[in-house]
Chains A and B, each alone.
Chain A
Amino acid sequence: MPEYTLNVNNKDYKIDVDPQMPLLWAIRDFVGLKGTKFGCGIAQCGACTVHLEGTPIRSCSFPVAAAAGKKITTIEGISENIDHAVQKAWIEMQVPQCGYCQSGQIMSAVALLKNKPHPTDADIDAAMQGNLCRCGTYQRIRSAIHRAAELV
């Protein structure tokens, strides 16, 4: 199997895996970062969202070979002390319930705010539609994104 270098959160990891293995499993089971979650495997739920060169992607459906050498950011990489504006807003608004989808929600929200520092509700709908939450925290996600826009 080929060896790839994955740059995750500004750190290089050499891994030896099937090129078709989705980036998600490389991150979870080879790099060892468990914050990125598996939900569906077909890019429908967004629990696996990470940034590739700053753009949100669904890592469950993205082959590891295509991510090699590029800058990957996971939930663990957005702050060291849980103090990114989005995280602060998430805590202030008490967004998570079970919390399982929230890494993906936060990664989508971080990308949204980078592109649109003051998103409208329609912007939020468009950017966050790909992230399912079975607990139904959507109303708080919306409030928290607006709050994070104030905190940035």
Chain B
Amino acid sequence: MEQVLSKIDRRKFLKFSGITGAGFIIGLSLKSKAGTASVAKAGDVAPYGLTPFVMIEKNGTITIFNPKPEMGQGTFQSIPSLIAEELEVPLTGVTIQQTGGEKRFGPGQSAGGSSSVRGSYFQLRKVGASAKEMLVMAAANQWKVPVGECYAEDAKVFHKPSGKSIGYGDLAEAAAKLEVPKDPKLKDPKDFKLLGKDIQRPDIPLKSSGRAVFGIDVEVPGMVYASIAHSPVFGAKLVSYDDSVAKKVKGVIGVEKCQRIFGPYTYDCIAVIGENYWAALQGRKALSIKWDDQGNDKFNSKDYTQYLHDLSKQDGAIDKEEGNFDKAYSEAPVKLDSFYETPVVSHSPIEPMNCVASWTDGNKLEIWASTQVPGGIMGEFTKKYNIPEENLTIHTMFSGGAFGRRLYTDFVDEAVQLSKAIGKPVKVLWTREDDTEQGPFRPMTFSALKAGLSADGKALAFQHKVISPTIRYSKNYDKTKTDGTMTEGISDQKYEFPNMKNLYVNADFHIPVAAWRAVTSTTLAFAHESFIDEMAVKANKDPMEFRLGLLTKDSDTKTVLQKLKEVSNWDKPLPAGWGRGVAQYEFFAGLAGYVIEVSKKGNGVNIEKAYAVIDLGTVVNPDMVKAQVEGAAVMALTAAIKSGITFENGQTVQKNYNTNQLVRINEMPPVEVHILANGGPKIKGVGEPGLPPFAPALCNAIYAATGKRIRKLPFDIHNV
């Protein structure tokens, strides 16, 4: 397996796509409506009518084009294996080529929302199956034998009665001349060799030897380095700067103004350009910059928290209403009323933001980036810089973590601006301090929850009101309406409440905020599922049984809870001083749940074990799914017990990992992952669902062990 880092050889590509017979390219027809994509081969439709996914050359080289960036979630294995399974080629024998936003590779050249596999599962299998049928037909024609006597395996077609075989490369030319089958037969899952199996990821040897090439590792001839000073105070304006000392630093070759553009914000910044990164950084430190904070230096987390509390008194916009909540709540004999708070957190992938851009010949641009959105970069930058698509080449590198941060292109634009200004390839590299200080961040959400119960503990009325800023930057944003991005999942839980009214109150915020792995469910699940636990306690019921009692109809949620009950031995008594908690959350990306066991340790708790159940329907790589859930648990734990991001004097208090701490190896509890995958057409996401239910399951366990109810994240696990 080879990681191809260079751009696709355009001449070769055009040769193969322009002339049928020289090779075989097959993919999806862009002419079809979305969701009904049909398989087509190059030459049928030109020039951009085809989204190629497989190229078979006459020498037998097989290339699979992967439109889903690899950031740790495993698309470098999962996506190509959808094709390879049906095409009957071993994954170890193909070249995987990440696409770079080119229009011919179609829409969807991005990774986010746990959507890569579930969005491609049937389409890409159909591409592989069509190609295989055409290759088998080509062999049968050549041998003049019935097609039924031939089968494909290991990139060859075999003739069963005679035992003879022929490689795909030798069939490519003939196969390319055949009609694409309208309805190729997909394999029976019981015959799968790759899908549903614990197949090793082809990128892992590269990543275990320093050979994987990330954005930060890119070097191109003539390249210079930039370190960029941004204002630590959000919303400051540049007044003046003195670069005389910076320019004297050996290796510094220039100082340029540029802009960081994020959502509605444009920030002036100063880039120091150096022959090497260290020189650029030293030069940057020698800059003397005068900023006008414009009063934004008064901003701090304490006042903002009070502002959110004040806003919580507003009625808010209705997110979802069923029955008559107000009446049912006021008449309920037992009432419950709680307020939950969560913090701002950072993405903090270990690879800091970076990009290499090379602007040449007035209107040609080449970009190398660790990004989740090569397709987005293509659309955005061709438009912004008014260059034709064929003049923009994007190299999608391995991302050293992303978690939503690399959905945004602010750091890419900085590199483009600088290369354009100085006429050289520029590598922009943010420091960790830049990354921690500048955001964007996951915003906090505050939740006001109300419930009405009958005297015998039946849930009669339920309300979840969310108070938060929004991550949706839209000119048409209407503050008087609900915002599904910020109420994510709260009105879609399967619990059956006869009367429910969920609400949203929007808060102003001048600090860049963004999607973060599992988005707003990461905070709302904490409030929602902790409060369900409070209701169970108030009703004097076991939290698992209380939840199942709210789920009389069959649902995936019910199945997940039943599975959790089974795998965690929920009914088995725990040692003295231990407690267990349960939580689940279903949202756009999918569904998972946890049972977590804790034991009292001093004034705090120790996490003994986390049992996770993730509901997928169909699974492509079970081991990879387990890895994703294990990792999501760690990220959720960090967000629950570490400082997160706070603000004083208009800027982040935390600047680097010493203060913005992440969970370390000694703090990770054992996580045992169970996958629900009984097949069928339903496919749910993998990367994100393991995150939201972790914190509430943990806090519910802490309540069970200690009697202390945690309603505010983060909390100190050593002193609850």
A62-84 contacts to B (CB < 8 Å): 74-76, 79, 82
Query: CB within 8 A of B350: which of A29, A36, A101?
Result: A101
Query: How far is it, in angstroms, between the C-alpha of A1 and the C-alpha of B249 when the chains are bound?
Result: 12
State A90–B656 Cα separation when bound (angstroms): 28
- Fill in one digit per residue for A14-26: 1 if any B CB lies within 8 Å of its CB, else 0: 0001100110010
Measured CA separation A128–B663 after assembly (Å)? 12
B635, CB-defined interface residue at 8 Å: yes
| Contact between chains at A29 and B278 (CB < 8 Å) | yes
With A18-B282, A37-B350 as known contacts, state yes or no: A131 contacts B631, CB within 8 Å: no
B194 within 8 A of A: no
Which B residues, 651 to 702, have Cβ-Cβ distances below 8 Å to chain A?
Answer: 656-658, 662-666, 668, 670-671
Contact assessment for B664 and A129 in the assembled complex, using a CB-CB cutoff below 8 Å: yes
Q: Which of A90, A98, A106, A136 contacts B634 (CB 8 A)?
A: A136
How far apart are A77's CB and chain B's nearest CB, in angstroms?
9
Find chain B residues with CB under 8 A from A94 CB: 200-201, 204, 623-624, 627
CA separation between A140 and B666, bound complex, in Å? 13
Report which of A91, A103, A106, A142 forms a contact with B200, defined as CB distance below 8 A. Answer: A91
Instruction: Contact check, B208 vs A91: say whether CB atoms are below 8 A apart.
Output: yes
From B67-75, B265-273, B334-342, B499-507, the one touching the partner chain is B67-75
> Quick check: B665 and A129 within 8 Å, CB to CB?
yes
Is A34 among interface residues, defined by CB-CB distance under 8 A? yes
Task: Give every chain A residue within 8 A of B278 (Cβ-Cβ).
Answer: 17-18, 21-22, 25, 29
- Chain A contacts for B251, CB-based, 8 A: 18
User: Quick one: given A22-B278, A131-B665, A142-B665, are A42 and B657 in contact (CB under 8 Å)?
Assistant: yes
Query: Cβ of A134: which chain B residues have Cβ within 8 Å of it?
Result: 348-350, 401, 403, 635, 662
Decide yes or no whether B277 CB sits under 8 A from chain A: yes
Knowing A74-B210, A99-B203 are in contact, say whether A136-B633 is a contact too (CB < 8 A). yes
Closest Cβ of chain A to B173, distance in Å, is 37
- Contacting B at CB under 8 A, from A109-152, are 124-126, 128-129, 131-142
CB <8 Å contact, A95 and B204: yes
Query: Is A75 a contact of B401 with CB atoms below 8 Å?
Result: no
CB under 8 Å from chain A, chain B span 189-214: 200-201, 203-214
Residue A102, interface by CB 8 Å: yes
- The reply to whether B209 and A82 contact each other, CB–CB distance below 8 Å, is yes
Beyond A34-B217, A37-B400, whether A102 also contacts B207 by CB under 8 A is yes
Please tell me if B398 contacts chain A, counting CB pairs below 8 Å: yes
Instruction: Give the residues in chain B near A1, CB-CB below 8 Å.
Output: 250
A91 to B204 alpha-carbon distance, docked (Å) = 6
Q: Any chain B CB within 8 A of the CB of A55?
A: no
User: What bracket does the count of chain B residues touching chain A fall in?
Assistant: 35 or more
Number of A-B contacts (CB under 8 A): 177
Contacts of A97 in B (CB 8 A): 72-74, 627-628, 631
Which residues of chain B come closer than 8 Å to A99, judged between CB atoms?
72, 203-204, 206-208, 212, 398, 400
Q: Determine whether A59 belongs to the interface, using a CB cutoff of 8 Å to chain B.
A: no
Q: Shortest CB–CB separation between residue B340 and chain A, in angstroms?
A: 24
B431 within 8 A of A: yes
Q: How far is the CA of A133 from the CA of B658 in the complex (A)?
A: 14
Which B residues lie within 8 Å of A45 (CB)? 350, 432, 657
B352 at the interface (CB under 8 A from A): yes
Residues of B within 8 A of A140 (CB): 627, 630
Query: Shortest CB–CB separation between residue B644 and chain A, in angstroms?
Result: 15
Selected from A18, A79, A136, the residue in CB contact (under 8 A) with B250 is A18
Smallest beta-carbon distance B398→chain A, Å: 7
* A37-B351 contact, Cβ under 8 Å, with A25-B277, A128-B665, A134-B403: yes
Give the nearest-CB partner of A126 in chain B.
B666
Q: How far is the CA of A1 from the CA of B609 in the complex (A)?
A: 55
Instruction: Choose one: B205, B211, B349, B668; the contact of A139 (CB below 8 Å).
Output: B668
Chain A residues with CB below 8 A from B79, complex form: none
Q: Report if B632 contacts A (CB, 8 A).
A: yes
User: A82-B208, A96-B204, A97-B73 given as contacts; is B350 within 8 A of A136 (CB)?
Assistant: no
Q: Is A33 an interface residue when CB atoms closer than 8 A count as contact?
A: yes
The distance from the CB of A55 to the nearest CB of chain B, in whole angstroms, is: 19
Query: When the two chains form their complex, are residues B277 and A139 in contact, meaning their CB atoms are under 8 A apart?
Result: no
Measured between alpha carbons, how far is A103 from B205 in the docked complex, in Å?
11
Closest to A145 in B: B665
Is A4 in the interface zone, CB < 8 Å from B? no
What B residues does A40 contact at CB under 8 A? 432, 656-657
Q: Is B399 an interface residue (CB 8 A)?
A: yes
Contacts of B210 in A (CB 8 A): 33-36, 74-76, 103
Q: Give, as a whole number of angstroms, the nearest-CB distance from B13 to chain A.
A: 28
Q: A25-B277, A100-B349, A132-B664 are in contact. Are A34 and B213 (CB under 8 A)?
A: yes
Given A25, A35, A132, A133, which contacts B211 in the complex, CB threshold below 8 Å? Answer: A35
The digit string for B542-579, where 1 denotes a CB below 8 A from any CB of A, is 00000000000000000000000000000000000000
Whose C-beta in chain B lies nearest to the C-beta of A43? B658
Could you say which of A44, A75, A133 contacts B656, with CB atoms under 8 Å apart? A44
Contact of A35 among B209, B635, B663, B666 (CB under 8 A): B209
Can you show 7 pairs from A to B with CB atoms below 8 A apart? A18-B251, A18-B278, A87-B208, A97-B72, A98-B399, A133-B665, A134-B348
Q: A79-B209, A100-B350, A139-B668 are in contact. List 9 more A-B contacts (CB 8 A).
A: A39-B350, A39-B352, A39-B657, A45-B657, A82-B208, A96-B203, A99-B204, A99-B400, A136-B668
Nearest 5 interchain pairs by C-beta:
A35-B210, A136-B634, A99-B207, A100-B400, A98-B72
